């Protein structure tokens, strides 16, 4: 725990910082709270701590909590949140940048689970991962799938602000990949997970391509691949398709009737359907023709989005960095199939799979948020 001297030093620094932020003099502050200018000067220089009554008055003038008056910037923690359709990852780093806690929870895309459920998942995760750290000493950035929508982002940000973090912000999960993979450079990012989305990142613009949700995207995600795998199973059952090893693999996942299986799938939602994508990759490796056809169909859609993204760099002479993130990047057939599908266009690309968790990008954005706040103050 901080000792008395640390409390006094933090109070001194914060009173001076907050007073200057409001652009008021020591005398104006003193008059507003009924103290002398000499006393306020003593708070800011010697670092003495006033009575609890005075603390409440000062906090009220600055419109902050009393905790904020004693916050020590040398002890700021950073929380990154990466929320997708299948899982949400939380990572808390200490002031030295060491990750001290990492947590996984269910997906929190509000388009999939609803905004109230999304907020519950995020709040529960925050409480668990920050259980040993006061939230007033934590800066958080939450990159959440579906939060390209300002209304969803605003609702989640309001919830976080009520938790009294030192600072917080909310945006799309793609921002995490941009920060982790591109940093300040131009290029293209693609999320290939439960959903699919590409972003063109240039100094003058950031443009989204696809990412409209499973009802409206054309394919290329684990949901779409898993859906086609399940369709292949039911097509074999009704005689409109052929029974291959892919169908056998799906049969092994349940032990009840087809009607019960169908009910199970609908109840399981996007996350469950997406889980069947791995069988397509595994059976394609073994030469299953139905699996190979499904993969080629969806890799073609990914390639189409790559080409659409590259068109925004038509005047560039160098190869464009393309950072791929998401669960599908763990499948070893993805890159060979994509390279083959792109043909000569591969020469325009420098394709890289993100080699760190996207939540690391959220941590970088939290640190950047704190730097900007302090610079503004």
For 65, phi then psi, to 5°, come to: -80, 160
Task: Flag whether pLDDT at 1 surpasses 50.
Answer: no
Report the chain's mean pLDDT, rounded to a whole number. 91
- Shortest CA distance to 117 belongs to which of 126, 109, 125? 109
pLDDT of residue 63: 85
How confident is the model over 324-348, as a mean pLDDT?
A: 95
Task: Flag whether pLDDT at 105 surpasses 80.
Answer: yes
Higher pLDDT residue, 13 or 285?
285
- CA 115, 120, 121, 125 dihedral sign is positive
pLDDT confidence tier of residue 186, bands split at 50, 70 and 90 = very high
Q: How many residues does the chain have?
A: 377
Cα distance between residue 361 and residue 339, in whole Å: 26
pLDDT (tens digit per residue) in 107-133:
999 988 999 999 999 999 999 999 988
Cα distance between residue 59 and residue 259, in whole Å: 62
pLDDT confidence tier of residue 205, bands split at 50, 70 and 90 = confident
- Shortest CA distance to 319 belongs to which of 343, 351, 342, 344? 351
pLDDT (tens digit per residue) in 33-92:
999 999 999 888 876 788 898 899 998 998 888 877 877 656 789 999 999 988 999 999
Distance of alpha carbon 268 from the chain centroid = 23
Task: Flag whether pLDDT at 2 surpasses 80.
Answer: no
Angle at 58 between CA 375 and CA 369, to 5 degrees: 25
pLDDT (tens digit per residue) in 356-376:
999 999 999 999 999 887 776
pLDDT confidence tier of residue 198, bands split at 50, 70 and 90 = very high
pLDDT confidence tier of residue 377, bands split at 50, 70 and 90 = low
How confident is the model over 308-312, as a mean pLDDT?
A: 96
Cα distance between residue 108 and residue 173, in whole Å: 11
pLDDT of residue 3: 44
How confident is the model over 15-27, as a mean pLDDT?
A: 87
Q: Which residues are paired to 102 by β-bridges?
A: 91
């Amino acid at each position: 725990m901080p000792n008395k001297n640390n409390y006094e030093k933090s109070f001194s620094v914060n009173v001076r910082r907050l007073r200057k932020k409001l652009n008021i003099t020591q005398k104006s502050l003193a008059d507003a709270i009924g103290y002398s200018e000499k006393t306020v000067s003593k708070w800011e220089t010697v670092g003495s701590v006033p009575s609890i009554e005075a603390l409440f008055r000062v906090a009220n003038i600055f419109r902050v909590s009393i905790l904020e008056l004693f916050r020590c910037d040398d002890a700021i923690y950073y929380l990154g949140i990466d929320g997708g359709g299948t899982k949400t990852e939380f990572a808390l780093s200490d002031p030295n940048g060491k990750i001290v806690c990492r947590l996984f929870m269910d997906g929190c895309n509000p388009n999939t689970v609803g905004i109230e459920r999304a907020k519950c998942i995020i709040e529960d995760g925050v409480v668990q991962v920050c259980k040993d750290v006061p939230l007033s000493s934590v800066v958080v950035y939450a990159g959440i799938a579906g939060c390209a929508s300002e209304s969803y982002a605003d609702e989640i940000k309001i919830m976080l602000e009520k938790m009294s973090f030192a600072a917080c912000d909310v945006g799309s999960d793609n921002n995490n990949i941009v920060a982790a993979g591109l940093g300040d450079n131009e290029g293209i990012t693609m999320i290939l997970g439960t959903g699919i989305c590409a972003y063109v990142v240039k100094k003058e613009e950031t443009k989204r391509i696809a990412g409209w949700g499973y009802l409206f995207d054309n394919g290329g995600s684990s949901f779409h691949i898993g859906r086609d795998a399940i369709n292949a199973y039911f097509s074999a059952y009704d005689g409109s398709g052929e029974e291959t090893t892919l169908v056998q693999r799906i049969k092994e996942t349940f032990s009840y009737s087809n009607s019960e299986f169908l009910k199970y799938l609908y109840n399981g939602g996007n996350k469950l359907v997406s889980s069947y994508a791995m069988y397509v990759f595994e059976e394609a490796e073994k030469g299953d023709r139905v699996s190979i056809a499904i993969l080629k169909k969806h890799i073609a859609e990914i390639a189409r989005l790559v080409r659409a993204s590259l068109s925004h760099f038509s005047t560039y002479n160098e190869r464009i960095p393309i950072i791929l993130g998401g669960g599908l990047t763990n499948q070893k057939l993805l890159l060979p199939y994509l390279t083959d599908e792109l043909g000569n266009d591969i020469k325009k690309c420098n394709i890289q799979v993100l080699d760190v968790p996207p939540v690391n990008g959220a941590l970088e954005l939290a640190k950047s948020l704190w730097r900007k706040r302090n610079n503004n103050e």
